[in-house]
């Protein structure tokens, strides 16, 4: 019988929480879902993207990943290891004013998430596009692995993600 890994259990918990908000509550609309086995490094990555159903252009992406080292430690039941997954939460917005918009976003996300490390904002644009629109990928840093011990925290994390989308909407995204 197949014994699911920490990665599998967390992935299902995220899917259940997010799809309930999509299908039952209709608070969000799922816009993307990826489940990837990276054969080059033998790692796994799952991501699910969504946005608010009642307006706003910002969207969120929750990404869960497990390396070969983590998967092997769990499957081989290596002593002294505590297998887990990396978690990343991203927000995506398009904007036209980098300095002011990035400052506002940083302040809003620090207020909501209170991260231990600085929020990252990666700016990109399409050369030659008119008008020039910047795409901002905003990352919430997590400096530790997660495992089934944090299963009950998933609903709160998704709630914080939705609150962030609501704040971004109130700011014009």
Predicted model pTM: 0.93
> 108 pLDDT exceeds 60?
yes
pLDDT of residue 2: 62
Quick: pLDDT tens for 129-145.
888 999 999 999 898 99
Distance separating alpha carbons of residues 30 and 60, to the nearest angstrom: 10
What lies within 8 Å, CB to CB, of 147 at 6+ separation is: 6, 10, 82, 83, 84, 85
Query: What does the block give as tokens for 133?
Result: 């629109």
- In the chain, what are the domain boundaries? 6-170
Query: Which residue in this structure is represented by tokens 């400052």?
Result: 103
């Amino acid at each position: 019988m197949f014994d699911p890994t920490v990665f599998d259990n967390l992935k299902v918990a995220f899917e259940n929480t997010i799809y309930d908000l999509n299908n039952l509550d209709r608070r969000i609309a799922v816009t993307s879902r990826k489940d990837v086995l990276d054969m080059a490094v033998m790692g796994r990555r799952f991501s699910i993207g969504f946005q608010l159903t009642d307006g706003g252009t910002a969207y969120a992406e929750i990404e869960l990943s497990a390396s070969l080292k983590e998967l092997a430690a769990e499957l081989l039941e290596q002593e002294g290891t505590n297998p887990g997954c990396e978690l990343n939460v991203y927000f995506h917005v398009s904007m036209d004013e980098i300095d002011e918009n990035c400052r506002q976003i940083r302040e809003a996300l620090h207020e909501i998430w209170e991260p231990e490390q600085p929020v990252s904002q990666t700016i990109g644009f399409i050369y030659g596009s008119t008008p020039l629109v910047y795409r901002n990928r905003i990352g919430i840093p997590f400096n530790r692995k997660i495992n089934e011990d944090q299963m009950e925290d998933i609903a709160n994390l998704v709630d914080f993600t939705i609150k962030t989308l609501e704040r971004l909407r109130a700011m014009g995204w």
